[in-house]
Amino acid sequence: MPATSTQSGGAAAWSVLLLGTMVLATTSVVYLQTRTPTTVVVLGPAEAAKNGQPNPGLSAAGLERARELVRVIGDLPITGSVAAVFATRYRVSQETAEPIARHLDLPVQLVDSANHGPLLRRVASEYRGQLLVVVTDADAMPGLIKRLLGGTVIGDDEHNHPDRLYLVTMPRVGAGRAVALRYGASATVVAGS
């Protein structure tokens, strides 16, 4: 009888050890997932065609820049793959987002550049800890980045350059950061354009 009691005690100890290990492993995975920052690549549209249309598409240079974005996103020093691609209702924004979305086999999801609230709520709820791409209107970019960073103003007045993109990281705890980068061929912007 004592041998049976010892065997039962040993099995119980193994069960407790196994359960403890499973709880620790699960807790570690959840902890790491909540510690992963959300990263949003924010950029304006590439160069628009100068054809007098009210909602023009991209010029040849703009199409080349949009294709270059596929390489740039792949070369950014960030982990994980892009979970979603967003663009505003304007053709230039959608056409800028299209090559990267097609490359990743993701749809281009439309957002309102005049109202960032719904996008920000989705970023916080559906895409926390993931990598996103947002192509927005150049004039809306500073406001979006400011809201992503919780009110921090970016110190860059060159947001209207089509070769500019921002890598915005938002940790679960602490202040976020925005890094301004350039991609593709150098762009010249005429004053007032």
CATH number for the domain harbouring residue 165: 3.40.50.1240
Structural domain includes residue 138: yes
Q: How confident is the model at residue 192 (pLDDT cuts 50, 70, 90)?
A: very low
Residue range 34-46: mean pLDDT, rounded:
87
Query: Same domain, yes or no, for 50 and 124?
Result: yes
Is residue 192, in this structure, part of any structural domain at all?
no
Mean pLDDT of 33-54: 86
Residues 131 and 62 in one domain: yes
Quick check: 48 pLDDT over 80? Answer: yes
Q: Return the pLDDT at 163.
A: 83
Domain span at residue 50? Answer: 37-182
C-beta separation of 85 from 104 below 8 A = yes
Predicted TM-score (pTM) of this structure: 0.76
Band (175; pLDDT cuts 50, 70, 90):
confident
Instruction: State the average pLDDT for the chain.
Output: 81
Classify 4 as helix, strand or coil: helix
In a domain, 63, yes or no: yes
- Contact yes or no for 185/62 (Cβ under 8 A): no
Same domain, 85 and 30: no
Instruction: Tell whether 191 is covered by a domain.
Output: no
**pLDDT of 187:** 57
Residues 42 and 26 in one domain: no
Please give the tally of structural domains in the chain. Answer: 2
DSSP designation for 153: P
122 and 164 part of one domain: yes
Task: Tell whether 12 and 71 lie within a shared domain.
Answer: no
Strands 82-87 and 108-110: parallel
Q: Given CA atoms 184, 45, 36, 146 in this order, what sign does their dihedral have?
A: positive
According to the model, what pLDDT value does residue 68 have? 93
Residue 187 lies in a domain: no
Same domain, 87 and 100: yes
| 79/74: higher pLDDT | 74
Do 16 and 93 sit in the same domain of this protein?
Answer: no
Residue 131 lies in a domain: yes
Are 167 and 96 members of one domain? yes
pLDDT at 66 over 50: yes
Distances (CA, A) of 40 to 6, 50, 144, 165: 57, 29, 11, 10
> Which has the higher per-residue pLDDT, 180 or 99?
99
Whether the per-residue pLDDT at 77 is higher than 50: the answer is yes
Note the residue count of the chain.
193
Residues 42 and 28 in one domain: no
Same domain? For 42 and 14 the reply is: no
- pLDDT bracket for residue 51 (50, 70, 90): confident
The answer to whether position 137 is within a domain reads yes
Q: Which value, in Å, is the radius of gyration of the alpha carbons in the chain? A: 23
What pLDDT shows up at residue 138?
Answer: 87
Report the amino acid identity of residue 96: T
CA of residue 35 relative to chain centroid, distance: 16
Give a yes or no: residue 65 inside a domain.
yes
CA-CA distance, 76 to 50, in Å (whole number)? 31
DSSP assignment, residue 14?
Answer: H
Q: Return the pLDDT at 67.
A: 94
Whether 30 has a pLDDT exceeding 60, the answer reads: no
Report the pLDDT value the prediction gives residue 190, as an integer from 0 to 100. 40
Mean pLDDT of 78-105: 91
Let me know whether 87 and 150 are in one domain. yes
